[in-house]
Structure formats: C-alpha cells, structure tokens
A and B are shown apart, each in its own frame.
Chain A
Amino acid sequence: MSLWNRQILAIMRIDLAKTFFARRGLWIYLLALAPAVPMFLHGLFDHKADLQGDFGQDVQIFAGIFQFFFLRIAIFFGCVGIFMNLFRGEMVDKSLHYYLLGPVRREVLVIGKFLSGLVAAVSIFCGAVVVQWACMFWHQSGELMRSYMFSGPGGSHLMSYVVAAALGCLGYGSVFLAAGVLFRNPLVPAAVILVWEGANGILPALLKKISVIYWLKSICPISIPAPKNAGNGIFNLLIFDIDPAPANVAMVNLILLAGFVVVWAAMRARRIEIGYGTE
C-alpha cells in the first residue's frame, strides 16, 4: 500500500472515531432519524385501527418528507455538523496542529478528512433512509411490499433515495469541508448556502445548476404533487423544476462538483496556518 493510502487510512481511523462516537455529534443521529418517528407512529395508528391506509399516499408522503425535510434540512445541517468540524472543530479544540506536524501533504490530509466525513455521513444518512423506509411501510401487508419492492418500482425507488442521500452527503460535504478550510467562522457561509439552496427554485436556469439541491431533486424518483390549495405561486416554483436534469447526468455533475470543490479546498489547505491565539 502506498504511503498516501496508509496516511489516508490513518487519518480516517482518527476522524471516524471522533465523528461516530462523539457525544456532541448525537444531534446528527437524532436529525437523521427524526422522520422515522412520525412515520412509525403513522403506521402504528393504521395498524391498531386495522387499516392498510392508502399505499400510494404513503409513497407520496415519504417522497415529500425526503425532499423537503431530509435533503434540505437533515442532510444539509448534518453535513454542516460533520464536515465543518473536520477542520474548524479541530481549530476550536486546538488539535489541528497534530496532523500538520506529521509527514503528510496538506492535500492528503484534506482528502483523508473528507473521506472520513463522507463515510460517517453516508453511513448515518443512508442508514437513516432505510430505517425511515421500514418505519413508513412496516405495517403494510407482506405480499403488497414484496410485490412493490421486487416486482414494482419500490426497489429502485429505495435505491434512488439511498443514492440521493449519499450524493447529498457528497455534495454538501464537499461544500462545507471547503467552508471549514476557508473561513474562520464557517457558520456565515453556511447561512448563505442555506439561503442559496432554499431559493434554488426561483433562480434563473443557469444559476440553479450552481447548487446541490437542483441535482439532488433530479435524482429523486417521485415528483411531489402541489397541495390542492397552494395556488400557482412561489410554492410551485420550489417544488417543480421546469428543466430537470436526467438522473444519470445529475449524478455525474454532483460527483464532478464535489471533486472540484475538494480539489480546490485541498489546494487552499496549503495556506492553513495555526493561530489559536496564544501569543
């Protein structure tokens, strides 16, 4: 194994332990699993009332929660918590210099840290998608679920959600990693990105594409219908894309976007200086 690979693995071992088992990261697990609670309760009430419920409606509800809460809130803020801490959290703990005093190229350090953040985020959020899926549909009959998953579109839908969650972690992760490298207080750029991503629906076509959520929406398997009383206003702009990208193009573009941002962050990391403010 090459030196760089061994160093990346060493960095990942240190950082994964911090990300997965840190008490201060507990909120990320709660955020990821938050939708599972109402989904489970919804199934429980239906089950107790001996109702099968409207299966099609459940599929729509899942899609809505995934797009509006999971992608835009849970993964977004989860990635803020995981990826910004990779550098900025170490600055706060005054422990970043231990990496910088090793015989490690800064580029290798950035890649090692990014990969550890990515492994953590993908494990948490993709795992949460599967848990939510189980909580949403556990009360449905086994026959219906088998048919939906193996003969119908259920399997590919679940796969699309998992891929969208993973690519969400990749896209937002790269952006917040770069923010952590570049900014002393990365919460300000995080707020700017939140507004930018939130306003994506009302941006001109070209600007829309300079975002993560635009590509993620294109990967989601189900379009959300507008509520009946929503009118034709701004809500529709937030839901519908007039020019959605094909899913495979969206995936490639997200990977390219993340790659570009990580490379840029790695180059900027050469200029990182340690100034914890003692002298």
Chain B
Amino acid sequence: MSAHIVLENISKFYGEVLGVNKVSLSIPPGITSLVGPNGSGKTTLMNLMAGLLQPTRGRLSVCGLSPDDPEKYFRVVGYATQYDGFPRGLTGWQFVHSYLRLFGFKPADTERLAWEAIDRVGLRDAAPRKIAGYSKGMRQRIKLAQAIAHRPRVLVLDEPLNGLDPLARAETIALFKELGREGSHVLISSHILHEVDLISDQVVMMSQGYVVAEGQIRGVRGEISEQPMQVLIRCDKPEHLASQLFQHSQVVEAKVHADRAGLLVRTHHAESFYKLLNHIALNGVQIESVAPADDDAQSIYEYLIGAEETTK
C-alpha cells in the first residue's frame, strides 16, 4: 500500500468557476505546507482530499485508499477545516466524544481517545464548557482535537494556526512536529510564511488553482533559475570582498550590509560561487558565516506568486 497522498490530474470546477486545475502531486509522509494567496485553491484541494468535494476530473488516493470508501478512508484521514461552525449546544468534550462514537470504538476506548486528544491540545479544563463560550483559539484547538482523536495517519489542517495566541501557536507547532516525527502526514495550509519554514518538510505552492511549485523548500528555490540566489556573507572586510567578487562573472550584485560587517550577494551559479568564495577566503578575508538569504518560503512565494499577484 502506498504511503503517499497521490493526486492524479485533479480538477474541480464550480460551474464555470475554477477551483483547482490539473493538479498532480505525490506527497510523502512528514509535514507539508500548502501555500498560496486567498482563492488559490488550497481549501478546495484540502476538501477534495477529505472527500467533502468530488473532483470534476482526476483521481486521488491517500495511503492507497479512496474517499469513495469512507469506512476505511476516514480511519486514516483526519481533517480540521477552516469553517468555524460547530453543532449547537455541545461542550468541547461532547463535541470530540460524540463524533468519535461514529468510529464504532468500544465506549471505554472512545472516552480514553477523546480525553487523550483533548489533553494533546491542552483543553482539559475547558472541555466541560460549551464551545459557544470558547475563544477563537480554543475553537481552533478543539477542532484539532476532534481531527486527531481517532489517531489518523494523515492529518489535513486548513489554517490551523489562525487565531492562536503565541503560546498556543508554539505548542501547536510542537504537536505538528511530534506528529510528523511519528510518521504521520501532516498537511497544513497557512498564510504565515515564516512558520511554514519552521514547520515544513516540504511545500506545495498554489496560485489561481494551479500548483506552481512543490518539494523541499531548498529544492524548489534551486529550480527558480531566473531569480539569482541571494547569499548573506558575514565577514571582516565586506568592501574588499565585494571588489574581489565583481571580478567574476557569476556575481550579479553585491551589496554591503548596513552594519558594514556583511555582504549580500546575488548569483546565478550558486555552486561555482561557493567554490570561488572558498578561494577568496584563503586570500586574507575572514569569513564568519555564509548563509542562503532567499531559500525560505517567503522568498519563494514572492518569486513565484508575488510576481503573478502584481501583474494581475
């Protein structure tokens, strides 16, 4: 049985409006972030994976299972939607426990799993209270508890960090990492790109219903060849280093950092640039550190999607 989430040429149209088009992905276990502007098709893609929508064309499977077989599929998949709706009148405990009963576990197991999930999101004290009185962050967490209660191998989370305070955000990110380490798929959509960097093993970038990039962030950055790579070098003589670098054609731009203790270099050929840098370092420049400055989700987003957004 495949351990991947596989989408084959998936399209979804709402009448004549495009949701997603010709999406083909194979997502391995680990934490995957789905990134894109509003209306890019992230929620549509997640709803398709959760069987809440049916594709107009194409096929998808999760760990070899299809949403057409819900009795098996939803034992493997858990989904916390971005919808802020809850059944009326339920407490946090009743909410998690009631829907867990649909799995047909024994009553004692249902109770144990419900408390376990509530504990994992840190809501034990609030569980006996009605959800209607919860804050936005607590509602997010109780939805997360409901999604993880049956211990799914694949967890799909639509904007799970929205509304969380910094402490809850850090705890929730730690939980995602823990789930990822346990070998689960954790698929997260997020607008907050620096958190995507912190969390993700890989990213899927979407724009206007299409997947524009996928893979590990560094790998995706390497494929954007039209944008020179940015490298930040901390050193003792940045002006001298800049003058030496400009003698070589692979350096497009070199900018001395405001604190005069570093240099930001743009180059089309990262590998040959690093070799060159080693050579220069042997000739009297003290280099403290070298780090890529634009192989993060924010930069990739700006290169791939920011350009499209601005040309619209």
Q: Tell me the A residues contacting B by CB distance below 8 Å.
A: 3, 6-7, 10-11, 13-14, 17-18, 21-22, 90, 93-95, 97-106, 271, 273-276, 278-279
Interface size, chain B (Cβ < 8 Å): 40
Chain B window 192-229, contacts with chain A (Cβ cutoff 8 Å), 1 for yes, 0 for no: 00000000000000000000000000000000000000
Residue in B47, B75, B84, B146 whose beta carbon sits within 8 Å of that of A98 in the complex: B146
Q: Which residue in chain A gives the minimum CB-CB distance to B76?
A: A103
Interface of B is mostly: mixed
Check if B53 sits within 8 Å of A273, measured CB to CB: yes
Check if A103 sits within 8 Å of B79, measured CB to CB: no
- A selection of 7 A-B contacts at a CB cut-off of 8 Å is A6-B101, A14-B87, A18-B89, A21-B89, A101-B74, A275-B53, A279-B39
- Report the separation of the CA atoms of residues A225 and B80 in the bound assembly, to the nearest whole angstrom: 60
Residue B11 is within 8 A (CB to CB) of chain A in the complex: no
Contact A274 to B53, CB < 8 A, known contacts A103-B70, A103-B73, A106-B70 = yes
Q: Which 4 A-B pairs have the closest CB atoms?
A: A94-B85, A102-B102, A10-B101, A274-B52
- Identify which of B38, B44, B75, B81 gathers the most chain A CB atoms within 10 Å of its CB: B81
Check if A104 sits within 8 Å of B87, measured CB to CB: no
- Report the separation of the CA atoms of residues A274 and B81 in the bound assembly, to the nearest whole angstrom: 11
- A276, chain B: closest CB distance, angstroms: 6
Q: Which residue in chain B gives the minimum CB-CB distance to A1?
A: B104
Give the number of residue pairs across the A-B interface with Cβ within 8 Å.
99
- A268, chain B: closest CB distance, angstroms: 13
- Give chain A residues whose Cβ lies under 8 Å from the Cβ of B34: none
- B91, chain A: closest CB distance, angstroms: 12
In chain B between 38 and 74, which residues have their CB closer than 8 angstroms to a CB of chain A? 38-39, 41-44, 47, 50-54, 70-74
Check if A276 sits within 8 Å of B83, measured CB to CB: yes
- Report the separation of the CA atoms of residues A18 and B89 in the bound assembly, to the nearest whole angstrom: 8
- Give chain B residues whose Cβ lies under 8 Å from the Cβ of A278: 43, 82-83
Residue in B83, B86, B103 whose beta carbon sits within 8 Å of that of A103 in the complex: B103
In chain B between 1 and 44, which residues have their CB closer than 8 angstroms to a CB of chain A? 14, 19, 38-39, 41-44
- Report the separation of the CA atoms of residues A100 and B44 in the bound assembly, to the nearest whole angstrom: 16
Check if B102 sits within 8 Å of A103, measured CB to CB: yes
- Give chain B residues whose Cβ lies under 8 Å from the Cβ of A13: 98, 101
- Report the separation of the CA atoms of residues A271 and B51 in the bound assembly, to the nearest whole angstrom: 10
Check if A104 sits within 8 Å of B146, measured CB to CB: no
- B152, chain A: closest CB distance, angstroms: 10
Residue in A14, A97, A104 whose beta carbon sits within 8 Å of that of B83 in the complex: A97
Contact A105 to B71, CB < 8 A, known contacts A95-B86, A273-B52, A276-B85 = yes
Check if B104 sits within 8 Å of A7, measured CB to CB: yes
